[in-house]
């Protein structure tokens, strides 16, 4: 045995990892080799020195803190969809049956089915939207077409010069301003208001439309089927003007208890809205669902991380007001 090998084996031996026959051989070498004896002593010294940085037991507070944080995170995970649970169960079972290829094929079939179902739903939604747009256009035509303003040219679609002549054919599209009058119950009016809430470049117009739609919701004038609630949620999430967002929030208030999507939209506003007034209003609106785990999760986060001290306070108050539900 040469010293290089011996040095490696000394380390192994010091940690109880040297097979017995090699240990015996090593011992014989070291006994006759001062250099290797020195090496072994240094290694033992290192082991002693290393204990100057001992392993400590994590204290009970650290364990409790960590566990609590984990439980909250696990509580906040969305429940698995039925197809996720099914595919997981299939993966578990099929793996143990060594029938992976079959499982994969079945999963592919299920997955393809899910994919097309999802696509079908999206296509349906688009179709519904297109149908609505067509309806609005028709309604506009059948109503007063008073005072159509001077037509603006929107774009030029083609220019064709006829051969051997000075004649040119130009195709262009025109924008014709229209006007429509009707009551708030009129579905056509409502649809236009919803379009206005998303599409108008003018904050004033968006503000008016959202205000009207919100008033409809608060008065309970049947605002679910026609997608008004959706329009308000979109306005709350995306509108750049805080007045508009505030009106949208007020309109959604009656539905925070019964509609999970509304609740989640309000929670998002509480977490992400840049305006403190809106975040405060959101906390108040969440009162009927204070005890929900996801609401509490968000309130915890807000109580710790919101920039505004008043909001942090209010969150803490709400949390302490409602007992924890396990």
Partner 1 sequence: MNGQKSAEERMQARAPEMELIREAQAGSRTAFDALVRQYEQQVLRLALHLTGSEHDAEDIYQEAFLKAFRYIGNFRFECSFYTWIYRIVTNLCLDQLRRRKTRREDRAVVLDRSGDEIDLLASVPDGRSFSNPAKELDRKVLGERIQEALTKLTPRERMVFELKHYQGLRLRTIGEMLNTTEETAKNTLFRATKKLRAQLAGLR
If the CB atoms of residues 63 and 141 are measured against partner 1, the closer one turns out to be 63
If the CB atoms of residues 43 and 140 are measured against partner 1, the closer one turns out to be 43
Output the smallest distance, CB 102 to partner 1, in A: 17
Output the smallest distance, CB 100 to partner 1, in A: 11
If the CB atoms of residues 12 and 319 are measured against partner 1, the closer one turns out to be 12
Q: Which of 89, 126, 161, 310 binds partner 1 (CB under 8 A)?
A: 89
The answer to whether the beta carbons of residues 288 and 256 sit under 8 Å apart is yes
Near partner 1 in 91-120, by CB under 8 A: 91-92, 95-96
Q: How far apart are CA 261 and CA 267, in angstroms?
A: 10
219 belongs to the binding site for partner 1 (CB under 8 A): no
Query: Could you tell me which of 97, 91, 94 has the C-alpha nearest to residue 111?
Result: 91
If the CB atoms of residues 58 and 225 are measured against partner 1, the closer one turns out to be 58
123 belongs to the binding site for partner 1 (CB under 8 A): no
Query: Could you tell me which of 227, 285, 277, 290 has the C-alpha nearest to residue 253?
Result: 285
Measure CA 177 to chain center.
Answer: 39
Tell me the per-residue interface mask from 30 to 69 with partner 1, x by CB under 8 A, - otherwise: ------------xx-xxx-xx-xxxxxxx---xx-xxx-x
SS3 262: helix
Q: How far apart are CA 197 and CA 227, in angstroms?
A: 12
Q: How far apart are CA 113 and CA 109, in angstroms?
A: 6
Binding-site size for partner 1 (CB under 8 A) equals 40
If the CB atoms of residues 13 and 286 are measured against partner 1, the closer one turns out to be 13
> Could you give the C-alpha distances from 186 to 51, 142, 180, 189, 208, in angstroms and in order?
81, 13, 11, 5, 17
Dihedral angle at the C-alpha atoms of 37, 41, 43, 47, nearest 10 degrees? 150
Output the smallest distance, CB 38 to partner 1, in A: 11
Q: Which of 24, 28, 81, 85 binds partner 1 (CB under 8 A)?
A: 85
Q: How far apart are CA 324 and CA 243, in angstroms?
A: 35
Output the smallest distance, CB 27 to partner 1, in A: 19
Q: Which stretch binds partner 1 (CB under 8 A): 83-91, 168-176, 191-199, 308-316?
A: 83-91
Residue 235: count of CB within 10 angstroms of its CB: 26
- The site for partner 1 (CB under 8 A) is made up of 7-8, 11-12, 15, 17, 42-43, 45-47, 49-50, 52-58, 62-63, 65-67, 69-71, 73-74, 77, 80, 85, 88-89, 91-92, 95-96, 326
């Amino acid at each position: 045995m040469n010293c290089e090998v011996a040095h490696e084996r000394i380390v192994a031996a010091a940690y109880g990892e040297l097979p017995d026959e090699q240990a015996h051989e090593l011992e014989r070498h070291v006994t006759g080799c001062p250099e290797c004896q020195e090496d072994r002593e240094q290694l033992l010294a290192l082991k002693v020195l290393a204990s100057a940085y001992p392993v400590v037991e994590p204290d009970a507070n650290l364990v409790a803190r960590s566990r609590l944080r984990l439980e909250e995170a696990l509580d906040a995970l969305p429940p698995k969809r039925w197809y996720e649970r099914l595919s997981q169960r299939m993966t578990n079972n099929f793996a143990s049956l060594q029938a992976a290829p079959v499982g994969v094929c079945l999963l592919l079939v299920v997955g393809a089915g899910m994919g097309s179902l999802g696509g079908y739903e999206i296509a349906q939604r688009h179709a519904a939207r297109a149908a609505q747009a067509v309806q609005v256009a028709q309604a506009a035509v059948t109503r007063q077409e008073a005072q159509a303003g001077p037509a603006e040219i929107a774009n030029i679609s083609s220019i064709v010069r006829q051969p051997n002549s000075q004649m040119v054919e130009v195709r262009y599209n025109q924008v014709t301003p229209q006007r429509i009058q009707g009551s708030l119950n009129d579905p056509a009016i409502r649809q236009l208001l919803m379009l206005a809430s998303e599409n108008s470049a003018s904050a004033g117009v968006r503000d008016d439309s959202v205000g009207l739609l919100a008033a409809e919701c608060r008065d309970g004038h049947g605002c679910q089927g026609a997608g008004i609630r959706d329009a308000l949620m979109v306005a709350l999430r995306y509108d750049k003007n805080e007045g508009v967002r505030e009106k949208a929030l007020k309109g959604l208030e009656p539905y925070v208890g019964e509609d999970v999507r509304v609740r989640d939209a309000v929670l998002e506003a509480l977490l992400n809205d840049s305006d403190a007034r809106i975040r405060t209003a959101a906390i108040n609106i969440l009162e009927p669902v204070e005890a929900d785990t996801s609401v509490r999760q968000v309130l915890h986060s807000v109580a710790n991380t919101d920039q505004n001290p008043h909001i942090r306070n209010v969150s803490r108050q709400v949390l302490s007001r409602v007992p924890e539900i396990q």
